[in-house]
Amino acid sequence: MLPAGFKKHGAKLLLRFLGIAMCGIIGVLTKEGNAGKLAYEGIKRLDYRGYDSWGIAVKGSGLSIYKRTGKIGSIPNKLLQGSIAIAHTRWATHGKISVRNAHPHLSQNGKIAVVHNGVIENFQELRDFLAEKGFVFKSDTDSEVIPMLIEMYLEEGCSFREAVRKALLHLKGSYAIVAIYEPEHIMIGAKNASPLVVGLSDGRVLFASDLQAIAPYAEEAIFLSDLELVEASPEIKIYNIESGLSIKKLPKKIDINLCYADKKGFEHYMLKEIYEQEQAIINASAQNESLLNKVVESIKSANKVFIIGCGTSRHAAMLASYMFAKISKLNASALLASEFPNFANLIDEKTVIIALSQSGETADVLEAVRAAKRKGAKIISIVNVMGSSLMQISDINLMMNAGPEVCVLATKSYLAQLAILYLIANHLIGNTEQAKKELAEAAKKVPIIIKKNERKAKLLASKLKNTSSIFVIGKNACSITALEGALKIKEVSYIHAEGYASAELKHGPIALIEKNVPVIVFAPDASDESITNAIEAKSRGALIIGVSTERAKCFDYFFNVPCKELFPILSIIPIQLLAYYLALERGLDPDKPRNLAKSVTVK
């Protein structure tokens, strides 16, 4: 993962700055002899985690390795077989993308193969230490120290499991690894601060960065916590990495519908996931009553409530703070997870943190939550990915149940988060049944909103495809919808877009309004105050795109969202569609925008 010659501090800072190591890993041990095929198919489902190089190691009569740069392509047929296989897909913003730096990495004797996701912060010291012992490195990565350390301990007479465990004790940083050793029918997976899940089926064991990659081949799953190591032979034994003591964990049944995605005939996941928002609201609203009660009890006995998240999840947090204030008269401040340390002085044992994260693996969120936990705060999380780190470290977890979100852009998870937060806000005042009815109505509106607006979004996208800047405004809760609308447009179409509370326009940004600059306004109706601000922009030549329940005179284009009650939530849909079609008009892949990855697992 790292270029040669990086000094330890420089390398560490650069890694943190650039956000590297959001790779995908997989491991398969089967009795059917098709481990290579399953690992290859699984890694293709993880390519959203990285797509600059990839590789696979298959154990048949010996160890065969195949590595390539670029997106995952085909592999030779003979590699589809084997009893054990491990595979890796990589994403990096710096360092040489090369075959020799692609995983799996081998030990010096070529008998141990390892795939790794994470960052070994003390890799340089370890390389120096191993080099002194005569180990010669073939790649420039931090990861290669792992198979070398394992080999060192095997040479000292340790068992394979003990050699892996002892090797891991040297590592500072984050890792999820899968390791295999050619002479033995054993596969070992382990994790610390990077995701790894175990899938099980009759005589088959799978490791993966997320459940989605292996769900079609597993019936049950075990969700690992940090510092856990699993030996699969195919019998499963779990150990704590630090103590070496064995741990008992029961597998959970996998609901394939909630963790396996295909495009179901849509050209892109983004469009499919926009369409799935009806079901996402229905699923998210079906929360277990006793869990909701626990959430409400915790909030009521707290003296402070903070809602945290990053990106789109942060927008959901901000919108929720409006809902809590309006519906439940509760002051729940929304904080950006990465800025949380500035507010750490406010946290104590009477604080409740509501942490929002689709992936449940966002490093900034996890760090904020861990800091809050250390101060005794209670953690309520809302996540979509089953078994994720956030879910595991929370006191109470509510699942979004939105199904896998594969497109890098968050769409259905945003609506799912908001549906749950709306439910909590209403549960706090005993209005749950009414809220459930409203959410059921809102879900029914999703296909109507798509039907009314998709063609219009497509047409408008062809008109706006060469525009250089778009402004998005809204008042009250819609000021947050404006932020989310601008984020959707910029990240997928690469058109500069900014969101504002509409009244803020005249405090500065209006200086940028000139002839034909598009201004999108979210206005629940034609008499909303934001319309005044839209008119102010129109007087300076702006092209006004209204998203509303009714057409206002100043609109040059009109997206009709016939839902007044939950308007700030549902009105994002036409702009998700506009963003999608802008990406297509500009020849871009909406599912994999440049420089982004679905799980931002580093700071």
Does 410 sit near ligand F6R (CB under 6 A)? yes
Does 573 sit near ligand F6R (CB under 6 A)? no
Going by DSSP bridges, is the β-strand pair 351-357/378-383 parallel, antiparallel, or unpaired? Answer: parallel
Q: Which of 89, 212, 359, 426 binds ligand F6R (CB under 6 A)?
A: 359
Nearest Cα to Cα of residue 525 among 514, 534, 538: 534
Q: Which is nearer to ligand F6R, 311 or 485 (CB)?
A: 311
* Rounded least distance, CB 195 to ligand F6R, Å: 11
Does 312 sit near ligand F6R (CB under 6 A)? yes
Q: Which of 351, 362, 453, 533 binds ligand F6R (CB under 6 A)?
A: 362
- For 133-170, give the secondary structure using H, E and C: CCCCCCCCCCCCHHHHHHHHHHHCCCCHHHHHHHHHHC
Q: Which is nearer to ligand F6R, 285 or 362 (CB)?
A: 362
Yes or no: say if 545 and 521 are a contact pair by the CB < 8 Å rule.
yes
Q: Which is nearer to ligand F6R, 491 or 536 (CB)?
A: 491
Size of the site for ligand F6R (CB under 6 A): 14
Three-state DSSP class for residue 191: strand
Q: Which is nearer to ligand F6R, 139 or 358 (CB)?
A: 358
Q: Which of 126, 213, 310, 543 binds ligand F6R (CB under 6 A)?
A: 310
Q: What per-residue string of b and e applies to 477-509 under the rule 16 or more CB within 10 Å gives b?
A: bbbbbbbbbbbbbbbbbebebbbbbbebbeeee
* Rounded least distance, CB 390 to ligand F6R, Å: 8
Query: Any catalytic annotation for residue 407?
Result: no
Nearest Cα to Cα of residue 206 among 194, 113, 214, 89: 214
Query: Any catalytic annotation for residue 598?
Result: yes
Long-range contacts of 65-70, Cβ-Cβ distance < 8 Å, separation of 24 or more: 65/104, 65/106, 65/113, 67/99, 67/102, 67/103, 67/104, 68/99, 68/102, 69/97, 69/98, 69/99, 69/102
Three-state DSSP class for residue 425: helix
Taking residues 482 to 521 in sequence order and writing x for each that binds ligand F6R by CB under 6 A, - otherwise, the string is -----x---x------------------------------
Does 394 sit near ligand F6R (CB under 6 A)? no
Q: Which of 357, 389, 394, 530 binds ligand F6R (CB under 6 A)?
A: 357
* Rounded least distance, CB 310 to ligand F6R, Å: 4
* Rounded least distance, CB 33 to ligand F6R, Å: 37
Yes or no: say if 410 and 313 are a contact pair by the CB < 8 Å rule.
yes
Instruction: Name the active-site residue from 12, 436, 598, 603.
Output: 598
- Of all residues in the shown chain, the one whose CB is closest to ligand F6R is 311
* Rounded least distance, CB 496 to ligand F6R, Å: 16
Taking residues 241 to 260 in sequence order and writing x for each that binds ligand F6R by CB under 6 A, - otherwise, the string is --------------------
What is the distance between the alpha carbons of residues 475 and 152, in angstroms, rounded to a whole number? 63
Paired residues of 383 in beta bridges: 357, 399
* Rounded least distance, CB 448 to ligand F6R, Å: 24
What is the distance between the alpha carbons of residues 537 and 351, in angstroms, rounded to a whole number? 42
Q: Which of 313, 381, 397, 502 binds ligand F6R (CB under 6 A)?
A: 313
User: CA 24 → CA 118, 188, 263, 417, 569, distances in Å?
Assistant: 10, 16, 20, 25, 32
Indicate which residues carry an active-site annotation: 23, 598
Q: Which residues in this chain contact ligand F6R in the complex, by CB under 6 A? A: 310-313, 357-359, 362, 365, 409-410, 487, 491, 600
